[in-house]
Amino acid sequence: DYVGSWGTAILGHAHPAVVKAVQEVAEHGLSFGAPTAGEVEIAMKICQHFPSIESVRLVSSGTEATMSAIRLARGATGRDKILKFEGCYHGHSDSLLVKAGSGALTFGMPSSPGVPKVMAQETLTATYNDIDSVTQIFEKYGHEIAAIIVEPIAGNMNCVLPLPGFLSGLREICDQYKSLLIVDEVMTGFRVDLNGAQKVYNIKPDITTLGKVIGGGMPIAAFGGRKDIMEQMSPAGSIYQAGTLSGNPIAVAAGLATLKEVEKPGFFTDLSAKTDYLMQGLLARSQAAKIPLSVNYMGGMFGIFFTDEPVVSHFAQVMNTDLPRFKKFFSAVLQQGIYMAPSAYEAGFISAAHTMQDLEKSLDIVEQVFSKFEK
Ligand code: PLP
């Protein structure tokens, strides 16, 4: 399984420590609608590992986290427009389902019916890894833009790494126009590094969103950031947000048990080494079979592209990859027991449960599959 619940299952499935934590907590009640000690503990862990998060609030899904972050940015700046990138996916709230990635892209509906035109008009879209496209939009609308929201590694149009200068360029533009920078680490948080992609790329967001790994397979997500901004949330401030099941004890227990595993020394070194082994193995086999292939990866996430372009860093390149070949590859490896994302526009994920033998077996299967491809 290289899907791992779309990046959530970093320890694999049914990790004993996670299952035990959930079972123990369940005996005491499922939800109280009030904060619990576990909730405070996980909040402190998040702040500890993400120094840009001075204050954090828990919610129940990545969609809720980004939706709330957008409302906070709009409320805090008094501006309505936001800027996102074509092919980036931030969940399915109205403001963010514009030129989206993930399933919206796979099923050919990147901008969904049902999103009111007035909402869609407030969402501007730029090109990922193209800072000029952002500058141009800011020159026109800069003082109306509440925030830029970005995936620090784009994981919903396959896997595209940020080019040097892209993320720092966004930071500078936000500072210049007094807009906020929302870094959506729902996928990358505790997935590419213990301190997120923001540590890897040395970028300081105003607001960060987290999800997936922090719940260990249970519904939990979070948004947090600068204290002066977070304090504007109700009840301390007037920007409203709430949730009956937010930070419920079961999800928190699964999340805490997961984070305790990923905090262990060497966890991310091992995970990254496995990803590297699989990706370099794939490249070697594709070269031997003369199948043009390109890969991107960081920590426990990766992307493979059937293309002869050596580096894939733009949405347009992703859209130009060989889709029929991907489909053939997907079906052939699935028949041999390998579960990849059923789309050329999704990232792949490695978990701590993958053994070197699993990876070796996967590479053997890929070698067989490639040998049957037409050149
Ligand atoms: N943000 C990013 C970067 C995501 O990858 C996703 C989901 O894939 C979301 C937000 C939405 O999270 P959820 O599916 O938990 O609502």
At 279 the pLDDT is: 98
Does the structure show a pLDDT above 90 at 106? no
Assess whether 212 carries a catalytic annotation.
yes
Describe the chain by its helix, strand, coil percentages, rounded to 5: 45, 15, 40
Q: List strands edge to edge, sheet with 221-225.
A: 55-59, 221-225, 207-210, 180-185, 145-150, 81-85, 123-126
- DSSP assignment of 51-119: TT-SEEEEESSHHHHHHHHHHHHHHHHT--EEEEETT----S-GGG-SS--HHHHHTT-SS-TTS-HHH
Q: What would the pLDDT profile of 157-170 be if each residue is shown by its tens digit?
A: 999 999 999 999 99
Q: Which amino acid is at 45?
A: K
Assess whether 117 carries a catalytic annotation.
no
As a whole number of angstroms, the distance between CA 145 and CA 121 comes to: 12
Which residue owns the Cα nearest ligand 1 atom 13? 62
Quickly tell me which residue has 């050329």 as its tokens. 344
DSSP state of 189: B
At 218 the pLDDT is: 97
At 48 the pLDDT is: 98
Q: What would the pLDDT profile of 39-84 be if each residue is shown by its tens digit?
A: 999 999 999 999 999 999 999 999 999 999 999 999 999 999 999 9
Which residue owns the Cα nearest ligand 1 atom 15? 62
Does the structure show a pLDDT above 70 at 219? yes
- Catalytic-role residue among 1, 184, 193, 206: 184
Does the structure show a pLDDT above 70 at 356? yes
Residue 72 tokens read as 């906070």
Q: What would the pLDDT profile of 251-304 be if each residue is shown by its tens digit?
A: 999 999 999 999 999 999 999 999 999 999 999 999 999 999 999 999 999 999
As a whole number of angstroms, the distance between CA 368 and CA 362 comes to: 10
Distance 307 CA to ligand 1 centre (A): 27
| Contact in structure between 41 and 49 (CB atoms under 8 Å) | no
- Catalytic-role residue among 1, 2, 89, 201: 89
pLDDT band of residue 375 (cuts 50, 70, 90) is: low
| Contact in structure between 179 and 212 (CB atoms under 8 Å) | no
Assess whether 322 carries a catalytic annotation.
no
